[in-house]
Amino acid sequence: MQPENQSSGQERRSFIEEARRGQIVAATIETIAEIGYAKASFVQIARRAGISPGLISYHFAKREALMKQVMLTVHASMDQALSARGEGAESYRAALRAIIEGFVHYCAEHPAELIAISQIAAASRDAEAARAWADDQHESTLAELEDMFREGQEHGELRTFSPRVMAVSVLAAMEAAPAELTARPDTDVAAYARELADLFDLAVRRG
Amino acid sequence: MQPENQSSGQERRSFIEEARRGQIVAATIETIAEIGYAKASFVQIARRAGISPGLISYHFAKREALMKQVMLTVHASMDQALSARGEGAESYRAALRAIIEGFVHYCAEHPAELIAISQIAAASRDAEAARAWADDQHESTLAELEDMFREGQEHGELRTFSPRVMAVSVLAAMEAAPAELTARPDTDVAAYARELADLFDLAVRRG
Amino acid sequence: MQPENQSSGQERRSFIEEARRGQIVAATIETIAEIGYAKASFVQIARRAGISPGLISYHFAKREALMKQVMLTVHASMDQALSARGEGAESYRAALRAIIEGFVHYCAEHPAELIAISQIAAASRDAEAARAWADDQHESTLAELEDMFREGQEHGELRTFSPRVMAVSVLAAMEAAPAELTARPDTDVAAYARELADLFDLAVRRG
Amino acid sequence: MQPENQSSGQERRSFIEEARRGQIVAATIETIAEIGYAKASFVQIARRAGISPGLISYHFAKREALMKQVMLTVHASMDQALSARGEGAESYRAALRAIIEGFVHYCAEHPAELIAISQIAAASRDAEAARAWADDQHESTLAELEDMFREGQEHGELRTFSPRVMAVSVLAAMEAAPAELTARPDTDVAAYARELADLFDLAVRRG
DNA sequence: GATGAATGAGTATTCATTCAT
DNA sequence: GATGAATGAATACTCATTCAT
């Protein structure tokens, strides 16, 4: 049986095991970014990690579990990066700007991670658990944005518009950034971030 | 042997053959929308088309070719629908509004088609040609939007902003619509379209 | 998808498909009898059937399904053989004798079948469905024997004893026959059958 | 390296080593009884023994060796239990009764052991040596029973019948007991034992 | 044109066994 | 003596594609 199979739950993973899992997750991100989810077989991932394919199954009970771990890991890293920036915005418009610019900068700094999670989220094989989790995450992000917009409207800072449509559109526009930045590596990231923030600032501000 | 294997090029396809190809493409769209790209095997598609799996290979040399044809067909249908609406806009802002609202309404009317092409575009197996073509399409759509924005700026109708960032964001926001409309079937489509058009109208207009 | 996957049920199997399934079942029986359940991999079975391993999966969705089909096939053959003999016994003792002797003769004539189902019933891998079905079959056979004994007791033909213990023991003794006949091929089958019937006749008769 | 790998033979095993081997054997019996032979991997056995999987290989050169040791251990325990009861029977019929009743009672008291050896005997993987040994054991048990019956016939205590068929049937009926007792835990063990002994007493006695 | 049985190359997964620690 | 991470060989299963009919 694999260490993964912790039915009862809290059994601690050894340090070395955590390290291996991290290494495998990193190799998975690298592999997906390089050759795409479709071709990211255990053989390919293991080759990049310098281990045997069987070892992946040893540490992750199912392919799905690995993919979900990639999701969790990247989202955790993103949350950490964004929460640092998001703190202490003085207005709803400033908060929106901070979110948008923070996300764009994160994308620029972690292209492989973004490519990996977007491919996993869109994947058609052995990624249902990861996709379901990402969907939940997505929905709760939308809900947070909606709430923010609604409050801003109630405070009179933002114009009247559908918070849902705005939330969906902001998130879509942000999530389009990594592909654009990857496709055009020469893009001025700061300028991109500023333009995107300006765009939505004009769209939400009152008057 | 197969009609597909035409190394010499443009030999016309017979009427009956076009009909079969169309039937297979339609069944493919239906199948992907119903059970997802991952499970959309030839056997499944053939069952829905009421034909045998081998016949698909007879008409499409490779799975990729079928998927690409689905892309081509859906995009053609979309272009036709959009060009009808887009004609005769009196201003750049009106043109943008027409594009956005047209696309949203198309999404609402052809959910299966949209699901199919998004799954193919994101697919991990046998869809590289289709994806490549979609990428080209995507890029040329972006270029058209950029041009439109640039002209509008030169005519003084639109404010100064990065046409590229705006194009990417508009397209991303539009492409997010189908998922949203599918996830929330009760959404008021016309309102959604109007809100989205308002959003970008505010973002591009001068003053 | 395989022909096996008939979720809706009654779709007829083609003649050629039934023939293949029969051929695969026969090869499976032969393989298990020859090298044991443990080593009866699809590769081995396919080799004996003169087909490719993938074809087995094509006709049987899961290994379990194949093993269960072997069970069903052999039991059906056995039932047919036994029902022919069992008809028209004039007394409970005669009926018991007919059952016992019929079974022993069947064993002698179909050694591979008996070995196969006993190995499948005892198998530890991918045979749970087959085992479950065999267990049901076993239990209902026991119930029939019990009923027969109980009736015989009520009619005063049989002595007083536990019908359950007798049923279990009769069945066990019968099922031990194939192994014995296989281990000692020179055994006089008719004598074996007669001895076994005598044994239980003495055990059940009144006075 | 490993104590097991003693090509030269009879070197004594240390006390601590015997203790470990015993612990592993006990854990193996428990594991097989609990989750079945198929799932009784070294990891599972080691978990129940509170040791690491590698240690099992350290003490048993091959999986087969472990399974054979389980067989040896259980049979030894059974022999000990039965020989205690079997001593001092005054007649062949009494001896047969003692054997049957002793075995049934042993089954009721050691269900896990019986389940384990029956699963190993029927196992499809890595149990050939154990099975071969068990087959020998089985055969010698049959031979002993045959001898006993033959002697009883010569002494005029038992009727004329095939000692071999009787031996095979007695053994089969006894070995069917554990499954029955496990399937119906409410069974009155003493009554079962008595009924079974009665059955065969009637079958063997003269007149 | 059309069938669908058959192939074969691909996949993840399992687990006894090894060995550096 | 003991660990448990790692290997590697084996498995069933999937399915686009082929081809005899």
DSSP A156-192: TSB-S--HHHHHHHHHHHHHTHHHHHHH-TTS-HHHH
Which chain B residues touch A202 with a CB distance below 8 Å? 202-203
Mean predicted confidence (pLDDT) in B133-154: 95
Which chain B residues touch A162 with a CB distance below 8 Å? 191-192, 195
Residue C147: both structure tokens together: 């009923």
Among D169, D180, D200, most C C-beta atoms within 10 A, so best to mutate, is D169
Mean predicted confidence (pLDDT) in D163-181: 97
Comparing alpha-carbon positions, the chain A residue that sits nearest to D47 is A1
Q: Which residue is nearest to nucleotide E19 (CA to C1')?
A: D54
- D161 closest CB neighbour out of C166, C171, C198: C198
Residues 6+ apart with CB under 8 A from D31: D40, D44, D45, D48
Distance CA B113, CA B75 (A): 9
Mean pLDDT, chain B, whole residue set = 91
Q: Residue D53: exposed, middle, or buried by beta-carbon count in 10 A (0-12, 13-18, 19+)?
A: middle
The pLDDT value recorded for residue D89 is 83
Among C23, C38, C60, the domain boundary falls at C60
- A195 closest CB neighbour out of B122, B161, B176: B161
Is A53 inside any structural domain?
yes
- Residue A165: how many CB atoms within 10 A of its CB? 25
Q: How far is B15 from chain A (nearest CA, A)?
A: 34
| H-state helical runs in chain B | 15-35, 42-49, 53-59, 63-86, 92-109, 111-122, 128-154, 163-183, 189-204
Beta bridge partners of A88: none
Mean predicted confidence (pLDDT) in C14-27: 93
Question: What is the domain extent for residue C140?
Answer: 63-204
Helix D189-204 with C189-204: angle, nearest 10 deg: 120
Among A27, A43, A61, the domain boundary falls at A61
Distance CA B99, CA B200 (A): 11
Mean predicted confidence (pLDDT) in C148-157: 97
The pLDDT value recorded for residue C11 is 59
Comparing alpha-carbon positions, the chain B residue that sits nearest to C2 is B43
Please state the pTM of the whole predicted model. Answer: 0.88
Mean pLDDT, chain C, whole residue set = 91
Is C159 inside any structural domain?
yes
Say if CB D36 and CB D124 are below 8 A apart.
no
Instruction: Walk along chain A (207 residues) and give the pLDDT tens digit of each residue.
Output: 344 444 444 457 888 899 999 999 999 999 999 999 988 999 999 999 999 999 999 999 999 999 999 999 999 999 988 887 767 788 999 999 999 999 999 999 999 999 999 999 988 788 889 999 999 999 999 999 999 999 999 999 999 999 999 999 999 999 999 999 999 999 999 999 999 999 999 999 997
Distance CA A92, CA A11 (A): 43
Is A150 inside any structural domain?
yes
Element holding D33 (H helix, E strand): helix D15-35
Distance CA A170, CA A164 (A): 10
Number of domains in chain A: 2
The pLDDT value recorded for residue D11 is 57
Cα dihedral across residues B48, B53, B59, B62: positive or negative: positive
Q: How far is A37 from chain B (nearest CA, A)?
A: 6
Q: Give the largest CA-CA distance in chain C.
A: 63
Gap from A142 CA to E11 C1', Å:
37
Comparing alpha-carbon positions, the chain B residue that sits nearest to A200 is B203
Distance CA A40, CA A119 (A): 11
Is A66 inside any structural domain?
no
Comparing alpha-carbon positions, the chain D residue that sits nearest to C199 is D203
In this structure, are A91 and A185 located in the same domain?
Answer: yes
Distance CA D145, CA D166 (A): 8
Q: Which residue is nearest to nucleotide F15 (CA to C1')?
A: B41
Decide if B162 and A122 are in contact by the 8 Å CB cutoff. Answer: no
Say if CB C5 and CB C61 are below 8 A apart.
yes
Given a cut of 80, whether residue D66 has pLDDT beyond it is yes
Given a cut of 90, whether residue B74 has pLDDT beyond it is yes
Q: Which residue has the higher pLDDT, B9 or B163?
A: B163
Say if CB A170 and CB B170 are below 8 A apart.
no
In this structure, are D167 and D105 located in the same domain?
Answer: yes
CA B87 and chain centroid, separation: 19
Subunits with at least 3 CB pairs below 8 A relative to chain C?
Answer: B, D
Residue C122: band (very low, low, confident or very high) from pLDDT cuts 50, 70, 90: confident
Beta bridge partners of A158: A205
In this structure, are B73 and B88 located in the same domain?
Answer: yes
Say if CB A123 and CB A40 are below 8 A apart.
no
Subunits with at least 3 CB pairs below 8 A relative to chain D?
Answer: A, C
Is C2 inside any structural domain?
no
Closest CA to D190 of D112, D101, D117, D114: D101
What tens digit of pLDDT does each residue of B35-48 get?
999 899 999 999 99
In this structure, are A46 and A97 located in the same domain?
Answer: no
Distance CA D131, CA D12 (A): 26
Given a cut of 50, whether residue D9 has pLDDT beyond it is no
Distance CA C151, CA C79 (A): 22
Do D and C share at least 3 CB pairs under 8 Å? yes
The pLDDT value recorded for residue B11 is 57
Given a cut of 70, whether residue C119 has pLDDT beyond it is yes
Do B and A share at least 3 CB pairs under 8 Å? yes
D→C contacts (Cβ < 8 Å), by residue, are 36-38, 118-119, 122-125, 161-162, 164-166, 168-169, 171-173, 175-177, 180, 191-192, 195-196, 198-200, 202-203
Residue B145: band (very low, low, confident or very high) from pLDDT cuts 50, 70, 90: very high
Subunits with at least 3 CB pairs below 8 A relative to chain A?
Answer: B, D
Is D2 inside any structural domain?
no
- C180-189, D108-117, D122-131: segment of lowest average pLDDT: D122-131
The pLDDT value recorded for residue C5 is 41
Residue B134: both structure tokens together: 């979609």
Q: What percent of chain B lies above the pLDDT cut of 90?
A: 77
The pair phi, psi for residue C124, each rounded to 5°, is -110, 0
Decide if B38 and A202 are in contact by the 8 Å CB cutoff. Answer: no
Residues 6+ apart with CB under 8 A from C127: C37, C64, C67, C120, C121
Name the nucleotide nearest B52; use CA and C1'.
Answer: E3
Decide if B169 and A199 are in contact by the 8 Å CB cutoff. Answer: yes
In this structure, are A20 and A77 located in the same domain?
Answer: no
Comparing alpha-carbon positions, the chain B residue that sits nearest to C3 is B43
Given a cut of 70, whether residue B165 has pLDDT beyond it is yes
Mean predicted confidence (pLDDT) in B162-178: 97
Residue D131: both structure tokens together: 């099975």
Q: How far is A146 from chain B (nearest CA, A)?
A: 14
Our separate counts of H helices and E strands in chain C read 10, 0
What tens digit of pLDDT does each residue of C41-54 get?
999 999 999 999 99
In this structure, are D72 and D149 located in the same domain?
Answer: yes
Which chain B residues touch A134 with a CB distance below 8 Å? none
Subunits with at least 3 CB pairs below 8 A relative to chain B?
Answer: A, C
Residue A191: both structure tokens together: 């300028």
In this structure, are B41 and B129 located in the same domain?
Answer: no
In this structure, are B103 and B34 located in the same domain?
Answer: no
In this structure, are D81 and D149 located in the same domain?
Answer: yes
What tens digit of pLDDT does each residue of A110-162 get?
999 999 999 999 887 888 899 999 999 999 999 999 999 999 999 999 999 99
Among B43, B48, B56, most C C-beta atoms within 10 A, so best to mutate, is B43
The pLDDT value recorded for residue D1 is 41
Q: Which residue is nearest to nucleotide E13 (CA to C1')?
A: A57
Comparing alpha-carbon positions, the chain D residue that sits nearest to A2 is D43
We report the CATH number of the domain holding residue C50 as 1.10.10.60
Distance CA D19, CA D64 (A): 19
- Residue A185: how many CB atoms within 10 A of its CB? 8
- Give nucleotides in strand F with any atom < 7 A to a protein C-beta: 1-20
We report the CATH number of the domain holding residue B164 as 1.10.357.10
> Measured at the alpha carbon of residue B57, what is the angle toward residues B56 and B63, in degrees to the nearest 5?
90
Decide if C168 and D176 are in contact by the 8 Å CB cutoff. Answer: yes
Q: How far is B166 from chain C (nearest CA, A)?
A: 46
Which chain B residues touch C1 with a CB distance below 8 Å? 41, 43-44, 47
User: What dihedral do alpha carbons B181, B187, B189, B190 form, nearest 10°?
Assistant: -150
Which chain B residues touch A200 with a CB distance below 8 Å? 203
Say if CB B42 and CB B56 are below 8 A apart.
yes
Residue B17: band (very low, low, confident or very high) from pLDDT cuts 50, 70, 90: confident
Gap from A124 CA to F4 C1', Å:
35
The pLDDT value recorded for residue B1 is 41
In this structure, are A26 and A44 located in the same domain?
Answer: yes
C→B contacts (Cβ < 8 Å), by residue, are 1
SS3 B52: coil
Q: How far apart are the first and last CA of chain D?
A: 64
CA B80 to each of CA B77, C86, D116: distance values in angstroms, whole numbers, following the listed order: 5, 76, 72
In this structure, are C54 and C127 located in the same domain?
Answer: no
Say if CB A108 and CB A189 are below 8 A apart.
yes
In this structure, are D92 and D157 located in the same domain?
Answer: yes
Among A35, A61, A87, the domain boundary falls at A61
Q: How far is A127 from chain D (nearest CA, A)?
A: 27
Q: How far is A90 from chain B (nearest CA, A)?
A: 23
Residue D158: both structure tokens together: 């038992």
SS3 D158: strand
